[in-house]
Chain A
Amino acid sequence: MKKKVSVILLCFMMVVSLFAMGGCGGSTPPAGSTQPPATQPAGTEAAGTGSLKPIAKEDLVVGFVYIGDIKDGGYNEGHDKGRLALEAEGIKCFYKENVPESSECETAIRELIDLGCNVIYTTSFGHMDSTLAVAKDFPEIYFGHATGYKTADNMCTYMGKVEQARYLTGIVAGMKTQTNKLGYVMAMPYAECIRGANAFTLGVRSVNPEATVEVMLVNSWTDVATAKQCAIELLNKGCDVIAQHHDATTPQLAAQDAGAFCVGYNVATPDVAPKAYLTSAMFNWSKFYVDNVHSIIEGTWGPHTYWEGLDAGWVAIDELSALCPEGAQAKVDEVQKAIIDGSFNIFGGEIKNQKGEVQAKDMTDEEVWNMEWFVEGVIANLS
Chain B
Amino acid sequence: MEAYTSILLFLQVIAMLGTHVLFATLGGILCEKAGNLNLGLEGLMLLGASFSFYVALNFGNPWLALAAGCLASLAGSLIYAFLTISLRTNQVVTGLALTIFGTGVSSMLGKTMAGVSLPAQITATFGARSLPLLSKIPLLGPVLFQQSPFVPAAVATAILIYLFYTRTNIGLNTRIIGENPGAADASGINVTRYKYFNVLAGGLLCGVGGVYLSCVYAGIWQNELTAGAGWIAVAMVIFSIWNPLRAIAGAYLFGAVRGIGFKFQGGIPFLGMKLMVNAQILDMLPYITTILVLLFINLRKKKEYNPPASLGNSYFREDR
Contact = CB atoms under 8 A, between A and B. Distances in A.
B116 A73 contact: yes
7 contacts: A71-B115, A224-B220, A224-B225, A228-B218, A232-B16, A236-B13, A253-B220
Contact of A271 (B13, B117, B258): B117
Given A69-B115, A216-B265, A250-B218, A223 B227 contact: yes
Contacts of B274: 381
Contact of A381 (B116, B123, B217, B266): B266
B225 A216 contact: no
Q: Report the 10 A-B pairs with minimum CB-CB distance, sorted nearest first.
A: A73-B115, A69-B114, A383-B276, A71-B114, A224-B222, A72-B115, A233-B262, A236-B9, A71-B115, A253-B219
B136 interface: no
Interface string B275-299: 0111110010000000000000000
Contacts of A217: 265, 279
Q: How large is the interface on A (under 10, 10 to 19, 20 to 34, 35 or more residues)?
A: 35 or more
Interface in A36-89: 68-74, 77
Given A69-B115, A253-B117, A379-B266, 7 more contacts: A70-B114, A73-B116, A77-B115, A217-B265, A250-B218, A271-B117, A381-B274
Tell which of A216, A236, A253 has the most Cβ of chain B within 10 Å: A236
Contact of B127 (A236, A249, A257): A257
Interface in B260-277: 262-263, 265-267, 274, 276-277
A250 B223 contact: no
B117 A273 contact: yes
Contacts of A20: none
Nearest to A214: B266
Contact of B262 (A69, A77, A229): A229
B46 interface: no
A126 interface: no
Contacts of B111: 69
Contacts of B110: 69
B279 to A, nearest CB: 5
B265 A69 contact: no
A248 B262 CA distance: 18
A257 B123 CA distance: 9
Nearest to B263: A233
Interface in B125-148: 127-128
Contacts of A249: 115, 117, 220
Contact of A225 (B217, B265, B277): B217
Contacts of A189: 279
Interface of B: 6, 9, 13, 16-17, 107, 110-111, 114-117, 123, 127-128, 213, 217-220, 222-223, 225, 227, 258-259, 262-263, 265-267, 274, 276-280, 283
Contacts of B222: 69, 222-225, 248
Interface in A328-383: 379-383
Contacts of A191: none
A152 interface: no
Contacts of B267: 381
A135 B209 CA distance: 45
Contact of B219 (A222, A236, A250): A250
Nearest to A77: B115
Contacts of A232: 13, 16
Contacts of B262: 216, 229-230, 233
Nearest to A382: B279
A225 B227 contact: yes
Contacts of A324: none
A216 B262 CA distance: 8
A349 B263 CA distance: 35
B281 to A, nearest CB: 9
B69 to A, nearest CB: 17
Contacts of B127: 257
